[in-house]
Amino acid sequence: MTEESLLEVRDLSKSYRRRPVLRTLALVVKEGEAVAVIGPNGAGKSTFLGCITGDRIPDAGSIRVCGHDPFVDQSVVANWMGSVPETPFLYGELTIAETIRFVSRVRGMDREDAAGESARLLDLFGLAGAEDVLCRELSQGMGRKTAIVLALLHRPRLLILDEIFNGLDLPSADRLIAELDAHRARGGAFLLSSHNLSLLASVCDRGLLLAPDSWTNLDEEEWQRWKEAPALTPA
């Protein structure tokens, strides 16, 4: 693994009930990159992202996050990576503030550092003043904002984002895009899956196009052509 590679995926395969979803997929993501994960329903987008985060177990292949295997060095990888799944899970009986304190302690963050960063992120995403609301009482948008705060809290180097803009109002989406740009400027990278193809075209600088049992890494020229006519399937 090169020093600037934050993610390396080699020969990744995954099947469900003997039906191949991912077959020998390969991807390298370096510092400062934003990679769109594109494809129709059933193409394996969430499966692929779940394999990286450790939520899905691949049948074959290897994954390295900052040089570490997420299935072996789970605690190490957790410190390098932040993720927001398509359906975020929050503990319903905890408040937003309690959830943040719990996550920051699990990640071993300094208490003052966690308090300062959480205050910044809560204010950024319009959650300041809602810290005492129970997670089970949150709207879809507030729940997703909370999940975003938790993913960004420890300043990870690699972000795995699955339909992260679902339920966000336009001002919150704009602030998130600015935060992702700042994340890249610091040397971080992210993978982003969304059915909003125009958003992917504007936010990301290259793409991984998935179809059931196949995949294509779009090179610079192919990505520029895709941006001119975004589609869920190869041209």
Distances in whole angstroms, Cα of residue 230 to Cα of each of 9, 51, 197: 25, 26, 6
- Contact, 166 vs 172, CB < 8 A? no
Q: Would you state the pLDDT for residue 2?
A: 45
Half-sphere exposure in the Cβ direction for 82 (13 Å, CA): 21
User: In 3D, which of 37, 79, 78 has the Cα closest to residue 164?
Assistant: 37
∠ CA 230-152-72, nearest 5°, is 90
Q: Would you state the pLDDT for residue 1?
A: 42
How buried is 139 (Cβ within 10 angstroms: 0-12 exposed, 13-18 middle, 19+ buried)? Answer: exposed
Q: Which CATH superfamily is domain 5-91+154-228 in?
A: P-loop containing nucleotide triphosphate hydrolases (3.40.50.300)
Q: Would you state the pLDDT for residue 212?
A: 80
68-92 residue pLDDT tens: 999 998 888 989 999 999 999 999 9
- What whole-number distance in Å separates Cα of residue 119 and Cα of residue 89? 21
pTM of the complete model: 0.93
User: In 3D, which of 22, 67, 55, 65 has the Cα closest to residue 209?
Assistant: 22
Residue 22 CB partners (closer than 8 Å, separation 6+):
12, 13, 14, 44, 47, 48, 51, 58, 210, 215
Q: Would you state the pLDDT for residue 17?
A: 83
Q: Would you state the pLDDT for residue 235?
A: 62
Q: Would you state the pLDDT for residue 30?
A: 96
Q: Would you state the pLDDT for residue 26?
A: 96
Q: Would you state the pLDDT for residue 74?
A: 87
Give the residue extent of every domain in the chain: 5-91+154-228
Low-confidence ranges of the chain (pLDDT < 70): 1-3, 234-235
User: In 3D, which of 125, 123, 208 has the Cα closest to residue 167?
Assistant: 125
- Contact, 86 vs 95, CB < 8 A? no
